[in-house]
């Protein structure tokens, strides 16, 4: 065998080895991606179940898990971000469309997860928003007849209780209270609506009135979601 042919064979051999290595690496990465996606798919309904049990929801909310390389985080028992979307929330006097929740630094019991039993979920921070389409509540002060609250073209409108027609109101929030004060001198009415205690220690921070809805932003820290059945 000539020297040049021997060199060509060695180059071909090295090339085939590199190709085999790349194929093996690609297969390994594909398996890791599949395993990661499978783990996320398994954890999502588990988190949704425990959130529903903790908040007394009639059905599991939609759950999205953030962050890359989920498997190592699953092993550690901490997930950087979890988004929860709830479509049905019981709130006295409020017509709720949706509730969106963002949990940061979510921690859970690996033993509870592996056993399939409900467990406590904690989060360092919780931020979110509740979208309402209207409300019915009594007025404070002399007039305690029900007042209807609706939103139209970016305005809050009050009607009923002898107001003599829709009255525009200015909204504000503090703690768990939505305050509505009529604009102008048509009425001295002051309306307060208690907002739902979605989470322990929740604090509503802002209200934004849109075309036909109002979005109420909220925040909470060091949240503990303990399933009521546990």
pLDDT tens digits along 142-189: 556 778 888 988 899 888 766 667 888 889 998 999 988 888 745 566
Beta-bridge partners for 224: 122
Q: How confident is the model at residue 16 (pLDDT cuts 50, 70, 90)?
A: low
pTM (2 d.p.): 0.75
Q: Is 56 left (phi over 0), alpha (psi -120 to 50) or beta?
A: left
Q: Which two tokens stand for residue 76?
A: 């550690």
Average pLDDT over residues 80-108: 85
- Predicted local confidence at residue 127, as pLDDT: 95
**113, burial (CB in 10 Å: exposed 0-12, middle 13-18, buried 19+):** middle
Q: Which two tokens stand for residue 66?
A: 């953030």
| 208 has pLDDT over 80 | yes
Q: Which two tokens stand for residue 127?
A: 């931020």
* 186 phi and psi angles, rounded to 5 deg: -70, -30
**21, burial (CB in 10 Å: exposed 0-12, middle 13-18, buried 19+):** exposed
Strands 177-182 and 146-152: unpaired
User: For the ranges 4-8, 42-46, 55-59, 121-125, which has the lowest average pLDDT?
Assistant: 4-8
- Predicted local confidence at residue 94, as pLDDT: 83
Q: In the 8-state DSSP scheme, what is residue 206?
A: E
Q: To which H or E segment does residue 102 belong?
A: strand 94-107
């Amino acid at each position: 065998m000539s020297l040049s042919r021997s060199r060509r064979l060695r180059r071909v051999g090295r090339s085939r080895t590199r190709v085999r290595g790349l194929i093996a690496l690609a297969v390994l990465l594909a398996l890791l991606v599949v395993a990661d996606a499978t783990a996320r798919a398994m954890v999502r309904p588990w988190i949704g179940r425990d959130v529903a049990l903790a908040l007394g929801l009639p059905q599991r909310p939609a759950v999205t898990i953030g962050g890359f390389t989920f498997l190592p985080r699953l092993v550690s028992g901490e997930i950087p971000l979890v988004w929860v979307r709830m479509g049905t929330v019981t709130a006295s006097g409020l017509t709720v469309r949706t509730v969106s929740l963002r949990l940061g630094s979510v921690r859970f019991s690996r033993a509870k997860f592996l056993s399939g039993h409900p467990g406590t979920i904690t989060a360092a921070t919780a931020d979110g928003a509740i979208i309402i389409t209207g409300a019915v509540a009594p007025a404070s002060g002399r007039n305690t007849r029900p007042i209807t609250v609706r939103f139209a073209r970016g305005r809050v409108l009050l009607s009923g209780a002898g107001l003599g027609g829709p009255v525009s109101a200015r909204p504000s929030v503090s703690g768990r209270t939505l305050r509505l004060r009529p604009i102008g001198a048509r009425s001295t009415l002051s309306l307060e609506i208690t907002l739902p205690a979605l989470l322990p220690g929740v604090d509503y921070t802002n209200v934004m009135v849109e075309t036909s809805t109002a979005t109420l932003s909220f925040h909470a820290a060091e949240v503990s979601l303990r399933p009521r059945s546990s």
